Structure 1
Amino acid sequence: MDIEEGPRGVTVEWAVVPSGVGPLFLAATGRGLVRVEFHAGEGRRERMPERLAEQLGAEVVECATGRLAEPVRQLDRYFAGALRAFDLPLDWSLATGFNRRVLRELADAVPFGTVVGYGDLARRVGQPEAAQAVGAAMGANPLPVVVPCHRVVESDGGLGGFGGGLETKRRLLALEGVLPEPLF
């Protein structure tokens, strides 16, 4: 069987890798990186491949061809402070409609070391009244860190929410120089 075409049409490769914010679950199709998940401890790690297979109608296999080599290399460089912009092919299969528009705008127009408000991002995609919907899009982001939803904050300077937890968001923003490093 060709790794590109499993029995249901698409094969997804996955791996769990260490990072500066704990273990990350990474998955890629032949089109590109499709999923990044925080807190990929053993219990969650067992469920993630099955859930991804259901979402994509795909065969999901543990790293087989090296599709994840470049995403892992770039994430390592990012967490070491040596990479400011990811240059990876992304598979947007897990984001649709408004969410996809918002996430693409975020990925393309909010660079390392900067933040944007939920309302500002809503205006950028032509939906000025959709700040809450932008928050929902951030919560549904299938590619956190690479598509930097940690850079979206409240207009009053508050951090807002974050699917990886607020401590993870603080650590990512500190890594990018937006917040000071924690003292402890």
Structure 2
Amino acid sequence: MKETMVIASPLGNIRLHAEDGYLLSLQFTEDPEDLGTMDVFLLEVKSQLDAYFQGDLKIFNIPVALGGTEFQQKVWMEVNKIPYGKTASYQQIAKRLDSPKAVRAVGGANGLNPILVVIPCHRIISQTGELNGYAGGLWRKLKLLQLESRDQPGNPYSLGF
């Protein structure tokens, strides 16, 4: 059964879609908060997101179901390997996929990530360290990186949350 919930977060409301105990989508939205039918699975997702935004959770334990192409899925799984508080470039991801010339394709796939925050596409930055492209808005990408690096002295994104 498909379930939907809109929750509040420090970065604005988030729409969650799930089916049969798998998270299908997590996107920022302007829609008002709506806890829907109070689905147990989505309440657990909300709980983990709350802990993440408080700085108490570094690794999500949420079953996800991904659509997309085979290449997109490979990119998202590689992005998911980037540790909390760390970043990688589009080029590094392309090289890890044995497709060093696929930098733009990696960027395109990263931009289509259906499960923001949980699959941490915000951790992907340009080769020069610049922030570019984020479906939730660049200001949110910066805030997510700041949240994750706040305990890392010298990190260029540790500006506070």
**Could you report, residue by residue, the CA deviation over 1:112-152 in whole angstroms, capped at 9, with x for unpaired residues?**
00000001001111211111111111110000100000000
* 1:162 paired to 2:140: no
Shift of 1:30: 0.9
The residue matched to 1:157 in structure 2 has which SS? Answer: coil
Residue pairs, 1:104-183, within 5 angstroms: 104-107=77-80, 109-177=81-149, 178=155, 179-181=157-159
Letter in structure 1 aligned against 2:158: P
Shift of 1:96: 2.4
Letter in structure 2 aligned against 1:181: L
Match of 1:6 in 2: none
The residue matched to 1:84 in structure 2 has which SS? Answer: coil
**Could you report, residue by residue, the CA deviation over 1:49-103 in whole angstroms, capped at 9, with x for unpaired residues?**
xxxxxxxxxxxxx4354220111110000000000010111111x3221011110
Which consecutive residues of structure 1, in runs of 5 or more, have no partner in the other structure?
1-10, 46-61
Q: Which runs of 4+ in 1 moved over 4 A?
A: none
* 1:81 paired to 2:60: no
Distance 1:63 1:96 in 2: 31
Which consecutive residues of structure 2, in runs of 5 or more, have no partner in the other structure?
150-154
Distance 2:113 2:37 in 1: 22
Distance 1:32 1:150 in 2: 21
The answer to whether the 8 A contact 2:147-2:160 is kept is no
* 1:13 paired to 2:3: yes
Name the Cα RMSD after superposition.
1.9
Q: How many residues align?
A: 154
Match of 1:59 in 2: none
> Out of 16, 37, 48, which is 1:26 matched to?
16
Letter in structure 1 aligned against 2:18: A
Identical pairs, percent: 35
Distance 2:29 2:39 in 1: 24
Letter in structure 2 aligned against 1:102: V
Letter in structure 1 aligned against 2:119: V
The answer to whether the 8 A contact 2:21-2:41 is kept is no
Distance 2:68 2:59 in 1: 21
Distance 1:135 1:63 in 2: 36
The answer to whether the 8 A contact 2:21-2:63 is kept is yes
Shift of 1:31: 4.4
Letter in structure 1 aligned against 2:145: L
